[in-house]
Amino acid sequence: MELTREEERALQGEYGDGLKLAYKILVSIGNANDATKLISIKWAHISGVNFNTIGEAGVRFLSELDKETKVTVTTTLNPMGFDSKKDNNISEDFKANQHSIINSYLSLGVIPSFTCIPYEIFTLPKKGEIVSFAESNAAVFINSILGIKTNKESSLSSLASAITGKTPYSDLLIDDLRTPTTSIKPDIDIQTESDFGLLGYFAGKIAKDICVGLEINSEGLDIIKSKAISAGIGTSGMCGMFSNKNNDCEKISFGQTELTQVKDELNTAEKGDLIVFGSPQLGLEEINLLGHLTERKKFKKPCLIFCPRSLTECNNKMIRKLKKAGADINCDSCTCLTPLITKNDYDSIVTNSIKCAYYMKHANKIDVSLKDMKSITKEYCE
């Protein structure tokens, strides 16, 4: 990889330990991915905020970063482990580690957004611009729906890019590589957000490359469905983008058999003791839909909803309605690797989210009943 004279100096440590380490991370990743150079970015979105994701090693690494180190581009943060403004049944040890992580990131000058859907909250750079996004659902969404370019970054690579304002020029940043080599062709009429999520999950598994084809009509794809596909793809593989560009590539059909096959993998219970919405966090459209579906009704089981704090702060009528229906609204956090839902309290949950189902099953070891939002409100509200 070619470095400019300035980049070389920074890598040698002439501009401080923080920049030296950040360049070292980017150069190693650039070497691994056959990047030819570093390129400037307009935004970074960092993952690895929840203590459950980065653990004690992450806490220590972040706390040992040079205190003079700052981010040089607009940088947003993924969710942390719990809602900072609520009393949670979280251990003191977890809280202390979580606060250490947050303090480390704040000292770098990031925006404490604690959201995994920055594309629904912020005005992001324009189509065609290059960014460094680590949250997998967000990376897939902005590449595929908004045409903003990012590789599927990691906690460390997005952090290094936030500090340097640069990323290795490789893979999905190169226009010629944003074309699928395998395409999924649905043979069935997919209607619900959960089934779109399963389509994404299937596509992510099958994809041999960084961009997978989905032969679906983009006009029928609203934000809820696009988000479900993006989160599904982000959960199951290394793929960072989907495209419905019609090109000559290998076609794989997605019919009832394939749908049932991936559903059976994640849907392990008939019913749930807890209703969970929000992985990725719910955005305005989903909150509105859920509010309508539960109007003048009550949840029959406890219901946890995860959404960005900004949605609760604008005197949102729907949030008030959902609270009235008995929902417990949680900000700053998400279901992915949450310490809030444990096997001690619940044997099973019901959710419409593929990402939530996957992490509940694999990380929290809790059974999942997978249903779409409409069916859940029909069955679990009265």
Binding site for other proteins (CB under 8 A): 21, 24-25, 27-29, 31-33, 47-48, 53-58, 60-61, 134, 154-157, 160
CA–CA distance, 204 with 200 (Å, rounded to integer): 6
As measured in angstroms, the least distance from the Cβ of 362 to other proteins is: 10
As measured in angstroms, the least distance from the Cβ of 185 to other proteins is: 28
As measured in angstroms, the least distance from the Cβ of 156 to other proteins is: 4
As measured in angstroms, the least distance from the Cβ of 24 to other proteins is: 5
Q: How far apart are the first and last CA of the chain?
A: 61
Q: Which is nearer to other proteins, 25 or 349 (CB)?
A: 25
Concatenate the DSSP letters of all residues of 98-165 into one string: HHHHHHHHHHHT-B----S-HHHHS-PPPTT-B-EE-SHHHHHHIIIII--B--B--HHHHHHHHHHS
Concatenate the DSSP letters of all residues of 148-198 into one string: -B--B--HHHHHHHHHHSEEE--GGGSGGGSS-SEEEEE-S---SHHHHHH
Please give the torsion angle defined by the CA atoms of residues 224, 229, 234 and 240, in that order, rounded to the nearest 10 degrees: -110
Q: Which is nearer to other proteins, 133 or 380 (CB)?
A: 133
As measured in angstroms, the least distance from the Cβ of 157 to other proteins is: 6
C-alpha dihedral sign at 262, 181, 149, 159: positive
Q: Which is nearer to other proteins, 50 or 226 (CB)?
A: 50
As measured in angstroms, the least distance from the Cβ of 60 to other proteins is: 7
Q: Which is nearer to other proteins, 239 or 303 (CB)?
A: 239
Q: Which is nearer to other proteins, 54 or 214 (CB)?
A: 54
Q: Cβ contacts of residue 257 below 8 Å, gap of 6+?
A: none
Q: Which is nearer to other proteins, 38 or 329 (CB)?
A: 38
